[in-house]
Amino acid sequence: MKTVKRILAGLIVLVAAASVFASGAKDSAAAEKNGTITLNVWHQWSNDTNELKKLYDKAVSEYEKAHPNVKIRTETLDTEAYKTKILAEFAGSAKGIDVFYYWGAGKARALVKAGKLLALDDYLTSDVRAKILPGSTGAFVYGGKTYSVPMFSWYMTLFCNTTIFEKAGAKIPTTYPELLEAVKKIEALGDVVPIASGAKDGWNAAFIYQALALRNVGGKNVNAMLNGSTRFSAAGYADAAQQVVDLYKAGAFGKNPLEEGNDDANSKFITGKAAMRLMGSWFANQVYTDSTATVNPAKVVACKIPLIPGKGSAGDYCGGFVESFWINKNCKYPAEAADFTLYINERMGVAAYETGTGFSGWKGNFNESRLNPLFVQIKNLLAEGREGVLAWDTSLDSEPATVHNEQVQTLFAQAADVTEFVNAHKAVINK
């Protein structure tokens, strides 16, 4: 999710492997007096009710059974705490981390440049490469070397509670003007928030801006800006900022959106206190499984980001493969760490898909019996996708990513200044 300054820590899982990398495993095993190898693995699924945490724990248990010389120890923190903690650890040697959950593209780039991560190329056999979905590794390759492999991808979705829309006499929006009109009608009800923003967390606020920027500028052009091929100069970027401000002034996000974080916004939607939530496809699972949910899942629909008439393309979307497990270059047992990393990325990719949480980066025959109807809707929307754009704070380097998330939050306030917003972006992106 996502400001570099806020990234706090995660999970420690201790794993050792008699892996497919036999020679490396034997050498490492000899180093342990008791014959057991321990790997420290960090991740950010800290809530025991989180479906991904449950799946991770199951995968680790099965790995240990298949590798008797492996001990697994897990440590977790919530997402926002995790992000900051990881960076703090890698500012030093990150001695207590062997394998860790992180984000590719611009997020991991600084760690790669600093020589903190282990490349996987020596461990990517032809069999492993054959199982990876084509086009899913772009966010994990730096300087021709592969530092991780995909887990699962996501798709930015506008979740709409049709019960509230019906009550307000509003239409499910397919365009920005329709969105603004729906906001006004829902706001007039007085007892619900039109859009649960989670703007206290910068990446939540950024999602809303990025969605509108995508529609104003187009996916291809946004990607060119994010990779440095073009500058942050198109009029559409300012237009998107103004549209966020207009939504705020129309009451779209409630009275104090900067006091509401990601968890607050999720809770507000699943308890029927918000009509819309712009979030990643993983949220579909929460709608169906969260024990606190009171919303009728059958009354929730998944929609594309509303279009800007005459601009962009309906095939453009926000999302892609970026989340994965990585290896600390200073880990004591690199071959074992690589074996587990490849294993857990594949297992979590498959598990995420089969539970309606994400789209696997691995080929295979999947069991779709557990897919919830909302996730199936998103799957069908993704099938229409043409040009994907990753979240900006994972594509950009740390300084512009931080500035972006912080500046987007300024749009969710009475004193919003679009010109200042644009100039701040130009100062770091157009260097």
Q: Per residue in 295-316, pLDDT tens? A: 999 999 999 999 999 998 999 9
Which of 358, 375, 392 is at the close of a domain?
375
Task: Indicate the pLDDT class of residue 93, thresholds 50, 70 and 90.
Answer: confident
> How confident is the model over 1-14, as a mean pLDDT?
33
DSSP 362: B
Q: Do 288 and 324 lie in a common domain?
A: no
Q: What is the pLDDT of residue 32?
A: 57
Q: What is the pLDDT of residue 47?
A: 84
Rounded to 5 degrees, φ, ψ at 258 are -75, -5
Q: Do 166 and 296 lie in a common domain?
A: yes
Task: Indicate the pLDDT class of residue 33, thresholds 50, 70 and 90.
Answer: low
Which residues form the domain of 19?
A: 4-152+320-375
Q: What is the mean pLDDT of the chain?
A: 91
What's the structural domain count of the chain? 2
Q: Do 282 and 385 lie in a common domain?
A: yes
CA distance 292 to 21: 45
Q: Do 163 and 309 lie in a common domain?
A: yes
pTM, two decimals, is 0.86
Q: Do 87 and 162 lie in a common domain?
A: no
> How confident is the model over 135-155, as a mean pLDDT?
96
Task: For 309-347, write each residue's pLDDT tens digit.
Answer: 999 899 999 999 999 999 999 999 999 999 999 999 999
Task: For 267-293, write each residue's pLDDT tens digit.
Answer: 999 999 999 999 999 999 999 999 999
Q: Do 312 and 251 lie in a common domain?
A: yes
Q: Do 216 and 261 lie in a common domain?
A: yes
pLDDT over 80 at 204, yes or no: yes
Q: Do 201 and 288 lie in a common domain?
A: yes
Q: Do 255 and 179 lie in a common domain?
A: yes
Q: Do 228 and 136 lie in a common domain?
A: no
Q: Do 365 and 258 lie in a common domain?
A: no
The C-alpha R_g of the chain, in whole angstroms, comes to 22
pLDDT over 90 at 104, yes or no: yes
> How confident is the model over 212-238, as a mean pLDDT?
96
What H or E segment, with its residue span, contains residue 319?
strand 316-321
Cβ(283)–Cβ(50) below 8 Å: no
pLDDT over 80 at 16, yes or no: no
pLDDT over 80 at 3, yes or no: no
> How confident is the model over 405-418, as a mean pLDDT?
97
Strand 193-195 to strand 274-279: parallel, antiparallel, or no bridges (unpaired)? Answer: parallel
> How confident is the model over 116-132, as a mean pLDDT?
97
pLDDT over 90 at 74, yes or no: no
Q: Do 309 and 325 lie in a common domain?
A: no
The residue among 93 and 20 whose pLDDT is bigger is: 93
- The residues that bridge with 103 in the sheet, in sequence order, are 323
What CATH number does residue 50 fall under?
Answer: 3.40.190.10
| Local structure of 220: helix, strand or coil | helix
